[in-house]
Amino acid sequence: MSVKPPRKHLLFLNFPAFGHIIPLLELAKKTSRFHQVTFIVSACNHDQLLTRELIVPDQTDVRVIALKDGVSINFDTTGSTANSGLARVNAVVDEMSPTLTHLLLTMPTRHSSVLDADCPINDPVDVVITERFICSIALPNCHKRKVPCYVFNASSGSALNLGMDITDDTPAVPDSEAPPGSSSSSSRVLVESVKKFLLNVNGPIDLASGLIINNFVECDRRGLDGLKSHPKTKDIPVFCIGPIFPPESKIKLPNAAMTEKVNLWLDRQAKESVLYVSYGSLAALTKEQTARMNDLLTSTGRPYIFSVPLGLQSGFDEATRDGISRQFETDGTRCLILSWAPQKAILTHPSTGLFLTHAGWNSTLEGITGGVPMVAWPMFADQHLNGAWIAENRLGVLIAGTRLGSATMPEDSVVLEALAEAETCREKVKAMAVAAKSALAPGGSSERDFAELMKFPEL
């Protein structure tokens, strides 16, 4: 790829949840090959950024600044399910707004020098790239400073289209009166927290200099068509540059040792026989539901890997817990129950045949690139939209009616039927995996869009 524009200074702003931070950080790293990059991270995430080795200061050209933005709860460490919905997203945006607004209004730009001696940014900023969840802060303030601002969407173009026509006058139900499961962005019942979220992310979208999407054109034509036809977005350049993942690299011990053990176990399984089950890092079933799910997986008769947080494993009976402690000691073990699972390694292994997922966007992309049919069991936020998108595109099957904190689970027969139906999606998802690799290859659609993005033509 030949991209040789004059170097500019790009400021990246992110929402403090690692499902959003990771893809934006990978874009920042890739961008740093061509431009100067400063990456703003909430102070509550900074230590984890280093602990997870997502950024190694002496091995990257990305300058990371920990901003004391007032965010008090880390999405990735809190155990409160109430803090995982859009009401909490709105609260975090409100918490961030004063500090982030001050930064944007006082940072040096090409048009003005620094306006605050304590500003952590020293060099004039040419372009801001903001995560979509905080674009209600970034877009108006960048517009005031005459700094181009691009919006990064960590999920599909279809998610960007959602709720574009909602206005302040659109009726909404108070959250306290909303039926269960209506707090997601894809619910048919519009509640106040969802309305506020959609107004935040869509209201100022026409101020964007461009929309950056973590997907590839071949996988998102319907969503892209919607953006091209809507009055708010039809004149905004769109750049599909995904799928964006951290590169394959050395994994820290003990995770490296666990990855090797899991790969050896997978090597002993038949091709496309293994069912992998993960509800992500934030969502989870109850202890009782987790134990019931494990019984259901056992009843399928197929080998499986079940990612279960350590705190939930106490819900298993004694025999199951004993089996977990010895699961790597014998070659005949039919299942693995892991508190940490090397997801990318599992989904790219030829023995993995199905993926039951919470339908977070990063997991969805990993399922696609691994060529593994998915059964979507969404919990909250955009996961319901992603699950519907998976089903609509025949990349898997959606189990309807699931949500975080539900006291009930789908009937066993519903789950088993979904697993069986997902098998019929294998050819489609494998073809999409090939398309994903082609998109990222030299001359592919995502690489072309990235090259075009790096030119920042309005400067």
Better-predicted residue by pLDDT, 124 or 459: 124
- Rounded Cα–Cα distance for residues 214 and 14 (Å): 14
**Does residue 305 sit in the same domain as residue 178?**
no
**Does residue 211 sit in the same domain as residue 349?**
no
**Does residue 63 sit in the same domain as residue 190?**
yes
Rg of the chain (C-alpha set): 22
Residue 315 region, left (φ>0) first, then alpha (ψ -120 to 50), else beta?
A: alpha
Tokens at 70, concatenated: 């007032």
Single-letter residue type at 270: A
Nearest Cα residue to 281 out of 383, 152, 134: 383
Q: Taking residues 430-458, what's their average pLDDT?
A: 94
Res 216: pLDDT: 95
Write out 338-383 in H/E/C secondary structure: ECCCCHHHHHCCCCEEEEEECCCHHHHHHHHHHCCCEEECCCCCCH
Q: Taking residues 339-345, what's their average pLDDT?
A: 93
**Does residue 309 sit in the same domain as residue 198?**
no
73 has pLDDT over 90: no
372 has pLDDT over 50: yes
Q: How many residues does the chain have?
A: 459
Is the separation of the CB atoms in 360 and 19 below 8 Å?
Answer: yes
459 has pLDDT over 80: no
Count other C-beta atoms under 10 Å from residue 126's C-beta.
19
12 has pLDDT over 80: yes
**pTM flag (> 0.85):** yes
Assign 304 to helix, strand or coil: strand
- Rounded Cα–Cα distance for residues 240 and 210 (Å): 11
**Does residue 392 sit in the same domain as residue 429?**
yes
- What's the CATH number where 211 sits? 3.40.50.2000
Q: Taking residues 133-153, what's their average pLDDT?
A: 97
Q: Is residue 247 one of the residues assigned to a domain?
A: no
DSSP string, 172-227: -B-GGGPPTT--STT-SS-BHHHHHHHHHHHTTGGG-SEEEESS-GGG-HHHHHHH
Q: Is residue 100 one of the residues assigned to a domain?
A: yes
- Rounded Cα–Cα distance for residues 156 and 404 (Å): 22
The model's pLDDT over 23-64, given as tens digits with 9 standing for 90+, comes to: 999 999 999 999 999 999 999 888 888 777 777 776 678 999
**Does residue 311 sit in the same domain as residue 376?**
yes
Q: Is the dihedral of CA 95, 90, 21, 104 positive or negative?
A: negative
**Does residue 50 sit in the same domain as residue 109?**
yes
**Does residue 205 sit in the same domain as residue 271?**
no
Classify strands 127-131 and 149-153 as parallel, antiparallel or unpaired.
Answer: parallel
Domain limits for position 26 = 9-240
Label residue 413 exposed, middle or buried (CB < 10 Å: 0-12, 13-18, 19+): exposed
The model's pLDDT over 205-262, given as tens digits with 9 standing for 90+, comes to: 999 999 999 999 999 999 999 999 999 999 999 999 999 987 765 455 557 889 999 9
**Helix 287-299, helix 412-422: angle, nearest 10:** 50
Total structural domains in the chain?
Answer: 2
Q: Is residue 160 one of the residues assigned to a domain?
A: yes
In the chain, pLDDT over 90 holds for what percent of residues?
66
Res 3: pLDDT: 52
Mean residue pLDDT of the chain comes to 89
- Rounded Cα–Cα distance for residues 87 and 82 (Å): 8
Q: Is residue 270 one of the residues assigned to a domain?
A: yes
Res 406: pLDDT: 79
Is the separation of the CB atoms in 365 and 135 below 8 Å?
Answer: no
Q: Is residue 204 one of the residues assigned to a domain?
A: yes
- Rounded Cα–Cα distance for residues 138 and 100 (Å): 8
Label residue 193 exposed, middle or buried (CB < 10 Å: 0-12, 13-18, 19+): buried
In the chain, pLDDT over 70 holds for what percent of residues?
91
Q: Which residue has the tokens 């209506």?
A: 182
Residue 330 region, left (φ>0) first, then alpha (ψ -120 to 50), else beta?
A: beta
Query: Which residues make Cβ contacts (< 8 Å) with residue 195, sequence separation at least 6?
Result: 166, 170, 172
The model's pLDDT over 251-271, given as tens digits with 9 standing for 90+, comes to: 555 578 899 999 999 999 999
The model's pLDDT over 76-127, given as tens digits with 9 standing for 90+, comes to: 654 444 445 788 889 999 999 999 999 999 999 988 877 777 889 989 999 9
- Rounded Cα–Cα distance for residues 83 and 377 (Å): 20
